[in-house]
Chains A and B, each alone.
Chain A
């Protein structure tokens, strides 16, 4: 059954406040990567800000504000990836090399992938975008939300938002 790729059904179709891609020049060179936040709806929620150790996710004047990011401060640590209740934070490191980028994606499914596994990389509507290689699996907050580090072709960072263990 084909569902529309529409914003109203939960698929980001273009940049908008709360879902803005990092600035290209810094992103290309920053080791560790930069955060991509896709949280375009005003909802009462702020753990991305309170979990950010560097203040890169800026303080909220109103808890309903969409996140705003000071990319000069983002280290790509991925604590927000692990903390965000909406699984709306992702990190992409464009310095991985060999035409690959390293993505740090939240993962709450079973089975947990292991380093070296090949996994299917999925887009915002669940479409199969490419294959990726699992480079590391962490559980930063020890709360069963894993952060899976997966290398993907660098030109796919705007599309890959989830993995499926096959």
Chain B
């Protein structure tokens, strides 16, 4: 994304916020549903090793952006590029959803949690490691004869699951069906399930929705930990500004499918355009206030 392209849009941006090593670049993304223009010529990028947030009031088109990124929708126009650290790059708008997860290594969570309710917590985490285990099981053939190579891979997969369960305090619930977990734990489980697929970019769709303050804090710790100690960058959607201000490195603000601002939390918070469009009220609430 060039500075010129940036200037062409009406959005104000913080000049220093231009990405140096973007893991994800979205250019001129447009999505139309019939007559409805859900996303209008959106461009932004997410820096490797950072937490990038896309915020905007309800109905701003945030989830649609995610669905385009992860292949559940095919965008009407635009280019979405995922760059791995080794230089490999993927044009996500041309890939099937499961290939985006498998090859481009983009994982996601859902606004209304999508677990495998009738499977145990541990099973949920093993399904997430499907492709690794599939290879280890020799595409089932080696597994059927119970070869050691598969048993070893499965042990490793269970170890990875145990690591994440331990980190999120879910170890005790490992053998319970996912549907028996309380809501906050289900949210965490969905996140660590996505982490078990070892993504390079993790997209979280309103991860804090419905959480109480304590759970929200815990979530923030988890997300920071993922950023700092794992090879995974984060992209998250929120409509609640207070959640993202504390943990985001970079924020993109959407309204009616258009980008109205982008930059550091500090910049965005003080952008009059954001305050006008997003909060519609006076300055003071912009720092702490939630969505209307």
Tell whether A and B belong to one assembly.
no
